[in-house]
Structure 1
């Protein structure tokens, strides 16, 4: 056995359980394997006494104890403001116990059972996590205290505002920025009251936005000071949210009065520069190189003056922010190598060039004040040449335009042909769509919100037993057919969907049929058309018959109630005792060395494993009814199950081809139990036969073997829990599985063999040929 030393800083745990053996086992495991100091208590009252006299890092408690149970102990500790980590360690597996424990402040919930090493390893892990989390919380409170010190000494003005706009807290910098000496001068006053008149309206809008939980960008506002002066403060704030609650607003103010004054002076200087830039006769443009793999491949035009537009005939909005190759319509940026040289080394350059795309001569001066960027100042030196070239260019342009017009005419003709073909295709598509709608097994509905008109396919009418003339096509009359209890929820979901609060309109509700009965339907619809204002004008969707599904859900709930009863009776007490035995066997194995003793322990292990197998068998009841019933191909299912049930050497006669049964997914467990009973208890069974016949509107499935039959004394209580050979649970479980969908079972055999009959009501069986038709 692994041993761990209990050090001075070891976690100290109070372990509470009314079973002394389990207390001793837990103490032995936690102390020897994990170095946890454990003090045990056999009741909640004893635990409260120990908690008052000593310090513990965590409490581990059983749930079911005489007097005060584990949950009551937890509630009492939390009412006394004791936040010690609390772990519920119990064999009770009910979901409501788990929820109540966690709602009352339990840190973790662990279910007993299984192999002791794994159980106590998980318990130790949860103890460690809970203790570390609590220690982290203590450190967080200390961190918050330090954070408060930082806020108080920050240079920026800090404020905390309530939901009604009142100041709840400010720091010393806030007081200093507003010329105040004491927090009493600020606390309880409206933050808006500190704003200058020109910013009160804008400040109110910002604070209103913050008080609705939205964040704001840093904003400059004019604040009044106590001495009558004003200052420009940058306000940055955000909502204070704790959990799901909105508590108020907090933020900082930065005095930027001097910075804004300097910015105004810079702005004036920039205005003078911009005026000169706009009035120059020479064209001016500023650029930035574009690199690829370390080499300039193009340049972006950053800004141009009016002369640039006048000289080149390129509008500012068509040039700024675009690549030179795009602006000038050339594959390579003009004069790129010369511009790159200036932008890289900063040496100015003056040159006369001929720009072939414009057939123009320019005098260009190039300068650079920042690496990678350059400016050009240019003017036209060949006005006469330009005029001649312009005439030629205009002629070429006219020719080009004519070609473009011809190309556009051809394109329009091609587009017209495509539209004609599309109209024909659309008509064909509409006819196909109508055929699909009429043939689908689900109902299809189209709702015109403008005319309140509904178009449905024949499936909806047949679904509810109406003829073509029996159902109206107005929305208000359709709504009147919906069950009164379901109508408000359906209308609310439709309203939410039309307001954009859901991606799909989905509703499950009951609709009155021709016979006056209500049938469950599921409706899914989406908007397919909207008007010019974006409002929904037409919806399309499907209507599905889910009446059988709803009946199945009720059957599942009934099954789960039955299973919970059995689960409560068996697992809790058995798991506690089994865990004690397994734990002590494990300890003995580590202590004993003799071969005969170890063999004895192995036999005990096997016995305990068998017991645990029987306990796990009850878990089948947790699954019983947990899934919806479905249609089973009984021929395929029976062949697969019977061949896997150790039936070697037994003749299998299965005569149920084409029969499908609506039953719980655990139907195969029923067939397996019947075959297992034949092999185990039927003697020399050499034949198993499965066939069916119709009895009125019901179907009867017969399972029979040629064994020695079931003794008369067992038949009366054959399907009761605990009766028969072995555990007596197999046939009890089989009856419960079948009853979920109303299937009955009885035994009508004799000394020639066992004979079980399963009676299936109308609607729960079908033939493949009928279902596929």
Structure 2
């Protein structure tokens, strides 16, 4: 390398001052460039040998990978789409079949609706039109309407007409006995609660599944109480299923839910489907797919499964299409891959081999470096051009390196600052002329190994070593200030910056620059002036300032404000221990120097000359004063603030006590209505804790029906500068509703702007409940008076008619019969008048909270002579009801004894549910028949006056309480009294 680049040999360096140093090697740029060229040439030779093979392999693998990915993705997406399309078609056919089955059910229901709401049918059930069957229910009626059977049943589930059509004989036969099992009270086929609606759907019978429809029998205009039902049915026979299949899908069939022909898992999927009619699609084989749908009967039970089978033509076509697409992609990829390899070899790889041969020849050629010759204008031609430019750069760098080295040497000699280099031990290797002039360092001294420490004061030796170690650790030198001895013996303060010298990747020493900063002494004078200004400022400030020696903890100085607060003079305070005046800690316990605490804005005590203690706010800062470590303590008198805090605390405690003892709820909100404070009474009334209430708007706590109204009223009063007042409902977390009366006043800040609102709420639930109860009671009394007056007038009209008939008749027997009728009508009037006496007390007095245990216990005393046991299993609870509540429980016990026949025990117990509180009265008597469970609460129903349970229901209804009979006939009566939330409470002792 030295023969080819003669200017890159090692050369000793001699500076212009004549100082001959150890051999110094400058950074040889030409050598580095030459090595880089050799590396490039070798790499080119190695890579170009295998590039063609690697490129071919990569392209082949990339082609295989791309085709595989495309095939997999296309297969997944395409087959998935065809599968989804196939399932959509099957699901559509299943839904069509379900809709058609529903149409058949609706059609049958429409036919039944023509026969149920019909005056002729109505009179036939009542027995006033015996010719109805002969005129309307002919054998031809069945096939004309495509019916399998017709039933006409009265309200007691008694069959007045029943006929089934035999298509083989074209005659009407008896209805199968298995179907008659479904004609009973409570059956969906006996539904008569709405004259305009009925029941239709599937019914499973031993003879096979049947579409049935039932409609109530009423007048043609839907008036009157239903007296029975018309039931029509149509078997899902083979012919009927074939007709449905012709209209929907030829493969339509209906199978039993537990049919073994169903594929495994279909039953579970049918039960798990989101809707009762949601189709379930099942692939049976590669050729067939089936759709299933669950059909429930009129009882809501799983009855049938609708099934449709189809061939998988769509999916098979999708497989064929996907395979053709993959083959096309494979052929195209193979053709493109071969073409790409051929073009890559002709256009790229062959040119790379040519370039590699030329570069290899440059590395082996002796003498001057030849240049690369390459035709074309592509990237390879550009690379050849760049290589030639690099070779030109190497030649230029080789020629300009000596000139550059000489130029930088001359520059170092011309600098006024000291430039130096030293080895790891601190021995100087090179200095410029400025160092020779300042410190007197000669070439002979450098050859003898003069050390830089000889020019440093001893105190800086350790710091120099530390800073050099930091530079070795990779930290950039920040310029440390050192004290150095000049050649004339004077002391110079200088900033020294150093950097490591690297030789073959290792640190061989340090080079640096020394900058004289002796002139900074002038700044010290300015600093002294500044200190005098600061001292004047401290002496005039009205904050106490004390300077304490950090080691002895004696007071060094104090300003006039501190002397005034302590009540002493400066001479008396100086040299006193700080513990005597401003620090209560003992010797060795100083919070700052001994415990390393920061006293910043801390509340402490100050001892005056008279021994009194005053509160101060203290700040302590460590400072250096005249080379002495001190503590600068500042403090201000805190007595006035402490007094204000005490008064404020007392005021807050007084206000807190008032708010806790307040009988009304107190709250505070921001201007936008967000709650920021509520007292304990507010929490008790609303059931919302203080933490949960914070951040809510006050309107969020109101009932949705009151929220807009109350918000509007409050805003109107605020805009008109009136005090907002309103009554509203509040929903507690337990869903109970209370009524509150609220009012609020604005709160103003120091600028007169509204910063919020403070107000109170008062619980007026009992008052509102009383008002509602009185209003309801008055309404019931008025209604009952009108009814009673109407009944008595009707009875009197009948009575007068009987009197006129008795006068006109000449028959003694007829007159006797009329006199008995007059007696019965007179007794009826007597009972009606007696009822008004009992009913007149209902709602007269306001509802009250009553202990249920005590009320029933008083009732039990009235029946001690009866041979029955009355069991009370109730907790201490109160309900809000009319004062006649005792009469309700009396009537329940009295009715049980009168009509229970073999009754021996009556029990009272309770249950709590989401609806409210149930108080249950249950006996072991005969019970109530199903058809009388509702009528027993009607007026006049019963063997005595017929008013007891009617009156009980009216008494309970005043406060929203309901009662119903839910017992099983034959096992005893069971009356459930439902008390809604907010009208019952448990007594906690």
**Bigger Rg over Cα:** 2
Shorter-chain TM-score above 0.5: no
For normalisation by structure 2, the TM-score amounts to 0.27
